[in-house]
Amino acid sequence: MKALRVFLAVAGLVCLSGFLGVVVPPEVMARTATRYGVEAPAAGPLFTYVFRLAAAVVASCGVFYLVLASDPKRHGLLVPVGGAALLFVGAVLGVTGSSAGMVPGVFLLDALSCAGVGLGILVTWAVWGRRA
């Protein structure tokens, strides 16, 4: 059960750090993209809106994972749903980054981290579930 809580807490804290994207200035967004070898996006209103929307959704997911970590048994089937969601996001990031021709170092860490933590949640849930 402890390992499951750790995976859920890691997912929660990493996702919660997405809140930084809600407050960072658009110029910093563009500069950061360029630093990672990504073509600098137009720092116009639509880009800023979509970037902040994505950051807010990710941060909100962080709250979800932290709630699950507080008492996985009480939250039942939401735990494996959360693990499967991270596996899905990892797959989408990997396929999208690769098909878009991005430098692997830019997207691969995100993709593998999401998939790895999602798999960790599912495996520890399956092991814990058999004993409960």
- Please state, for a pLDDT cut of 70, what percent of the chain lies above it: 91
**How confident is residue 40, by pLDDT bands cut at 50, 70 and 90?**
low
Would you say residue 121 has pLDDT above 70?
A: yes
pTM of the model: 0.86
Q: Which domain holds residue 43?
A: 2-131
Q: Are 118 and 79 in contact (CB under 8 A)?
A: no
Spatial CA neighbour of 15 closest among 62, 79, 57: 62
| Residue whose C-alpha is closest to residue 63's, from 8, 1, 113, 121 | 8
Q: Quote the number of domains for the chain.
A: 1
Determine contact, residues 119/3, Cβ cutoff 8 Å.
no
Where residue 42 falls among pLDDT bands split at 50, 70, 90? low
What pLDDT was estimated at residue 43? 62
- Residue 65 confidence class, pLDDT cut points 50, 70, 90: very high
Question: How far apart, in whole angstroms, are the C-alpha atoms of residue 71 and residue 18?
Answer: 23
Q: What's the chain's length in residues? A: 132
